[in-house]
Amino acid sequence: MADSFSVEEIPDPATLLFRVQQMHIAEDGRITSACFGRDQMSVNWEKYSTPEETAQQAPKQDTGYVVGLVASFCRALSQRVIHKPLSVTDPNGPNRAHAEVQGRKNGSIKAKLRDHAAQQILWSQPRRF
């Protein structure tokens, strides 16, 4: 296994896989915008991962959905999409697919990301209460 991976440019049409935790899913099954608030939002690039693999990376298996975010959509919201693969020495590494959606996310941006993601639910599991 490689100690580190090359950083690549993520093309605009690429899908970024984002885990939505159970706590960010409302009673009616809709995704809340709260999960899109981090300035450095961790995602997996679909070139090197699948929705199922992304779901399995969750601590305590708390993933409710894995959604797709299109890189160009994120960039249109003034977000940077950066490939940041994790080496074997990084926490949660190795992960060649790891990337980040970077930038401030105000209420409007979080809502737009939520609405975009809700149209692209790629993996889900039954809710646990």
Return the SS3 of 14.
coil
Q: 10 lies in a domain? A: no
67 and 41 in contact (C-beta within 8 Å)? no
Summarised one tens digit per residue, pLDDT across range 82-92 is 999 999 999 88
Q: 70 lies in a domain? A: yes
Q: 58 lies in a domain? A: yes
Per-residue pLDDT of the chain (129 residues; tens, 9 = 90+): 456 899 999 999 999 999 999 999 999 999 999 999 999 999 999 999 999 999 988 765 688 999 999 999 999 999 999 999 999 999 888 999 999 999 999 999 999 999 999 999 999 986 554
Q: 82 lies in a domain? A: yes
Measured in degrees and rounded to the nearest 5, phi and psi for residue 72 equal -65, -35
Give this prediction's pTM.
0.92
Number of domains in the chain: 1
Q: 8 lies in a domain? A: no
Q: 6 lies in a domain? A: no
Q: 5 lies in a domain? A: no
What is the extent of the structural domain holding 19?
A: 15-124
Q: 63 lies in a domain? A: yes
